[in-house]
Structure 1
């Protein structure tokens, strides 16, 4: 645990996936696109091993398997396959850059381990009581003082125990993306040009600079320090500032969506966000920006002489922009005990004596896997907003009263090795009492690509039936779970008890049985037992309070 893998180990893991030529090529193309998006997120977070694994797997999947798929000549598949093949060239270039870094870290790890083993043998030869090495090598030789934590030694947090931090992390990431988009638009870049830059790999450092100019501070780094203190035995923090749901106005569109299938083409895009930025404070960002061209000089380390002769100069400034030197003029005012956010920018901030506090950034921890597939593959945590079902049932209320099914798509982001559902999209659809269908689902996936969202599952109602996965539901969900093992299916049965459930296919045997099933009809039996299972805890799904959620209803207004 915590030991950096070598290149050979990562390559071996990258090839450990199940390729089935019977799965339609459109499913595989969407899977390849998802791999690239995940790799871009891990790359932005500085996770070289996971980035290398996903890029290598993507290149192997496209070049060795998809290029020989029986459906490669179908016109609607050919264009997407060509785009995936072109994206592999970028993969190979990144692999060459990342490979030396991985090899160097692995060599350093082996050298430290040999030094530790040698020192231990010397101690044992002198009759000491040391018998075994520590279970987790901390990157130190036995005679050295602690050094800076390496990227592969990030703290692994339990998702269930750190829900408040997870909610704050999701809120910050959503705000960061919004701020980055605003910066790009303010710079005069159109959506079409932005898309071309990302796909063509021409974004470079320009977006980072724009995002750095619009960076706003918040207290998340303090919370990370508190988590570090908790890891060392201190009391856990309690942050309870809520984030309200942000419903989006309904957009009328003539396009329809067809669910449950997967689109024929996939967008090969680059994600933005190579650095984590702080969240936007209450005041407008422009009040806090300080550019070299501004006429207002940067405030000095200490406030200027106050207007009242008896007012002392205090070693801090107003925490809200713009800076207002001399605001605290009451002589009876006493400075608070060194809260970091009140310190002057030139005053060094004391850090807690913990690895997280030494460099309080979002790349200092990951959420560890919270469950495993039946074949032993770890599943990343999926954070599900607690408010999501309420908003979905509200949008589906008219259909539910008319005994018609309603479906929605669960979209979200990847952050700190966890998946956050941040958007509920309700596509235009046709419904009956036993099923609902959408057409032109390519529009849905194009929307997700444009918004930098990943499809994490789906939700639908059973207006009069019980809460279960019908045979049609199972065939629907296998397409999602092929794209991403963590994908979930939520069933809402408002007239029954239980009124809802969160499910996934077993793997094996459920996923394989559905992929090989050719029986027609909405309802048909399957010979396999244990074909699907609960996904909520003790599964890999954790309900999250105060999580950011946006609802987009794409159906025509009635």
Structure 2
């Protein structure tokens, strides 16, 4: 048996990718959102250099779309056709990347196996020191490349609860970087439609490389903290578990799903995967040329005459100097002052690899043993939401909001609170025009991480209606959370998730009629805050968007 943290083989990753629950009774629109979320996660892990997790997610995405969603009973509904066609088209880039990543995973696993074999042979030649030396060599096998550039699966792992300050600064930096990237894309004249095509076409990573020069707001304090943590954990650290490992194995045989020919196959075969609009980034417009005396255009105003020289008896270093000639009109000379850079020389830009030399380890586990990535919850989120919901609360009407965020360093950060258009009663809250919400999330590169709602007069608990609402979120992402705010009761709020098993399975199989009904399972949901996977984070970046019509 491989030691803990050993590089997984292609077969191991394929088995894990195929091991997920598919329920044909879950609406197709929910599965399509799940597929979209997988793609977003894979893009983040690919940018961080995590080949195993990228491979797992892309394979699972292809398997879900081609082996299951193509046969879903709702596939022919008009509202699903376009989204299913887009998901099927995205599989083409999945298969191409899988072929690129597979040799690297195989090579890394074979190198690890070769090292282990030589270590075991060395152990057999030593008498009486086997167990102790074996433990030491296990650590060596994981650390003998510490001086080399680490991929995200080789980096030191950090505890989310004990590194909240670092997490807040990391989130702030990532939000600034994304904002700068979006501004640069808009300045380059790329429309939102073209931008989305670039992402789904697999060429967005090239844009990210170009935009790193534009988003050079680097937090040196964050960099030094991360480097210090990396140095402290350089010896003896273990690679992190992936976000979806499981001890249950699917059948050993695996193959890449084949793309159906009746869809968009003709566009993919024998051609480049990029769309015509998906070329390289458009060149920047040339800078305005400086006017020269030889130009035929009117000359700029003449420079003012120089002041008379002072008496020669005054030392030259005490002589008054004329003001510098404005650089806009002056020709380039050796004495011209240098144009200041975007980043002061006293604060050189730190390479991105030094800012990401760690990954957050899973902080909790599902009841079936699957690890859960940490979710960082901004401490100010509840007060911001309750302020937006105050009018409804006074009228005894529920209000709901959607928790959106980003994935970074194997942790999930809630960075956006969206109040969708909705209809409310004293006991229910229904979103209106969900497609507008999902389109917004796609444009902003946000993932849906859960939801929040009020109980204006009731206590803090998950009603049967809440449970049936939340199961759709937790199918899309196991870490998804539901926050209930009961401002008139104590406790005034709670953060929950369905147990898995038995809660998730009980709700998925429940077909009882009516808005409110009992369930036979007692342990149907549980607290998600500590000791769960949710960590409340101070100084975290958070924005709110209210989509409700203005009255």
TM-score by length of 1: 0.75
Counterpart in 2 of 1:278? none
Question: How far apart are 1:10 and its partner, in Å?
Answer: 0.6
Query: Is 2:189 the counterpart of 1:197?
Result: no
- What pairs with 1:51-450 in structure 2 (closer than 5 Å)? 51-122=54-125, 124-125=126-127, 130-134=132-136, 136-139=138-141, 147-148=147-148, 150-151=150-151, 152-203=153-204, 205-219=206-220, 220-229=222-231, 231=233, 342=346, 360-362=354-356, 364-450=357-443
What is the alpha-carbon distance in structure 2 between the residues aligned to residue 145 and residue 485 of structure 1? 33
Question: How far apart are 1:81 and its partner, in Å?
Answer: 1.7
Deviations for 1:445-496, whole angstroms, at most 9, x for unmatched residues? 1110111000000000001100000111111101101100100000000000
Deviations for 1:60-106, whole angstroms, at most 9, x for unmatched residues? 11111111222222222222222211111111000000000001111
Question: How far apart are 1:499 and its partner, in Å?
Answer: 0.2
Distance 1:172 1:308, change over 3 A: farther
What is the alpha-carbon distance in structure 2 between the residues aligned to residue 469 and residue 15 of structure 1? 32
Counterpart in 2 of 1:26? 29
Question: How far apart are 1:521 and its partner, in Å?
Answer: 2.0
Structure 2 runs not aligned, ≥5 long = 236-273, 275-285, 291-315, 319-339
What is the alpha-carbon distance in structure 1 between the residues aligned to residue 342 and residue 47 of structure 2? 31
Question: How far apart are 1:189 and its partner, in Å?
Answer: 2.0
Identify the range of structure 1 (215-224 vs 438-447) with the bigger mean alpha-carbon deviation: 215-224
- What pairs with 1:451-530 in structure 2 (closer than 5 Å)? 451-530=444-523
Deviations for 1:25-84, whole angstroms, at most 9, x for unmatched residues? 222111111111111111111100000001111111111111122222222222222221
What is the alpha-carbon distance in structure 2 between the residues aligned to residue 150 and residue 135 of structure 1? 20
Question: How far apart are 1:421 and its partner, in Å?
Answer: 0.3
Distance 1:31 1:538, change over 3 A: same
Question: How far apart are 1:519 and its partner, in Å?
Answer: 1.5
Distance 1:456 1:468, change over 3 A: same
Counterpart in 1 of 2:328? none
Question: How far apart are 1:182 and its partner, in Å?
Answer: 1.2
Distance 1:121 1:411, change over 3 A: same
Structure 1 residue aligned with 2:52, among 49, 54, 72? Answer: 49
The structure with the larger Rg is 2
Deviations for 1:423-458, whole angstroms, at most 9, x for unmatched residues? 000112121111112221111011101110000000
What is the alpha-carbon distance in structure 1 between the residues aligned to residue 451 and residue 508 of structure 2? 18
Distance 1:489 1:136, change over 3 A: farther
Distance 1:72 1:344, change over 3 A: closer
In the alignment of these two chains, the number of paired residues is 453
Following superposition, which runs of at least 4 residues in structure 1 exceed 6 angstroms of deviation? 126-129, 291-295
Deviations for 1:313-339, whole angstroms, at most 9, x for unmatched residues? xxxxxxx96688xxxxxxxxxxxxxxx
What is the alpha-carbon distance in structure 2 between the residues aligned to residue 173 and residue 73 of structure 1? 40
Query: Is 2:542 the counterpart of 1:549?
Result: yes
State whether residues 112 and 140 of structure 1, in contact with CA within 8 Å, keep that contact through their aligned partners in structure 2.
no
What is the alpha-carbon distance in structure 2 between the residues aligned to residue 213 and residue 149 of structure 1? 24
Q: Secondary structure at the match of 2:213?
A: helix
Distance 1:127 1:20, change over 3 A: closer
What is the alpha-carbon distance in structure 2 between the residues aligned to residue 391 and residue 128 of structure 1? 59
TM-score by length of 2: 0.76
What is the alpha-carbon distance in structure 2 between the residues aligned to residue 87 and residue 344 of structure 1? 39
Question: How far apart are 1:361 and its partner, in Å?
Answer: 3.0
Question: How far apart are 1:24 and its partner, in Å?
Answer: 2.0
What is the alpha-carbon distance in structure 2 between the residues aligned to residue 490 and residue 535 of structure 1? 9
Counterpart in 1 of 2:306? none
Q: RMSD in angstroms over aligned alpha carbons?
A: 3.0
What is the alpha-carbon distance in structure 2 between the residues aligned to residue 127 and residue 229 of structure 1? 29
Counterpart in 2 of 1:243? none
Q: Secondary structure at the match of 2:108?
A: helix
State whether residues 47 and 205 of structure 2, in contact with CA within 8 Å, keep that contact through their aligned partners in structure 1.
no
What is the alpha-carbon distance in structure 2 between the residues aligned to residue 222 and residue 344 of structure 1? 13
Distance 1:131 1:292, change over 3 A: farther
Q: Secondary structure at the match of 1:134?
A: helix
What is the alpha-carbon distance in structure 2 between the residues aligned to residue 495 and residue 225 of structure 1? 46
Query: Is 2:18 the counterpart of 1:15?
Result: yes
